Copies of this chain bind each other. A is one copy, B any other.
Amino acid sequence: MSQVISIIKIGGNVIDDEQALHSFLVKFHSISGPKILVHGGGKLASRMADRLGIETRMVDGRRITDDQTIDIVTMTYAGLLNKHIVAQLTALGCTAMGMCGADGNAIPAHLRPKQPIDFGWVGDVNPAELNTVLISTLLNAGVTPVFCAITHDGEGHLLNTNADSVATALAQACSGMGQTRLVFCLEKNGVLLDIDDPSSLISHINAESFERLRAEGVINKGMLPKIEGALKAVQGGVGEVVIKHADNLLLPIGTTIRN
């Protein structure tokens, strides 16, 4: 493809706020060229579990996904949330196609090993096995895939999957079709030198500056695996990874990670 392919991931801060979501979708629709949206689940699954009297158990920020919980996340992520987004995008004139990883065998994954922690029906993507033919057929047909972070094991089981990993795998798969740009929308403007100073945005990171920033403790905690994943993605063929606030989707404000 001659145009840049954009893969954009949104999380709870956008999904859980009806107005923020609508405002984001309007911006997303205005991005020209082929694009893919990946959404996390936000708080909906936990709220639904609460209403159904099912205990939500998290370890290291990841949901323990037992038999009842995989049904809940499938209902809320692949059903309610995904179709709600698709209907809104279609209303804007975007030919959006809501998908999970089982649809068209788009994103094969495998059950996470039960040691050291048994997370239940949680999967890790098999990045080399994505159905690039299907994804390319859809993009060439002017369709915008909208993925929730449910994948499958190829044996009939749905798997709860990390949405960042789904977005990264999709960006890498698309990098074989043309130049790709992977955007993670956060509640922050990007990576900040001083977490309390929004104006201290670091506009560019590469492998070299990352090592320095990590040694200085500027990049730590949750941002560490994000930047490591981004660097792996650009090393794997993705043109660039951008971390930015959803409000700034169309603005040149954010942290760009390049090789």
Known: A52-B51, A87-B152, A154-B90. A95 touches B102 (CB 8 A): no
Quote the shortest CB–CB distance from A133 to chain B (angstroms).
8
A157 at the interface (CB under 8 A from B): yes
Quote the shortest CB–CB distance from A207 to chain B (angstroms).
37
A79 to B, closest residue via Cβ:
B79
Q: What is the number of residues of chain A that contact chain B, defined by CB distance less than 8 Å? A: 42
The winner among A75, A84, A97, A99 for most chain B CB atoms within 10 A is A75
Tell me the chain A residues, 101-127 only, with Cβ under 8 Å from chain B: 102-105
Interchain CB contact (< 8 A) of A141 among B102, B134, B155: B134
Q: CA of A83 to CA of B98 in the docked complex: distance in angstroms? A: 11
Check B97 against A99 for contact (C-beta < 8 Å). yes
Check B100 against A83 for contact (C-beta < 8 Å). yes
A168 at the interface (CB under 8 A from B): no
Q: CA of A88 to CA of B102 in the docked complex: distance in angstroms? A: 9
- For residue A83, which residues in chain B have a CB less than 8 angstroms away from its CB? 74, 78-79, 100, 102-103, 150, 158
Known: A83-B150, A137-B137, A158-B84. A90 touches B75 (CB 8 A): no
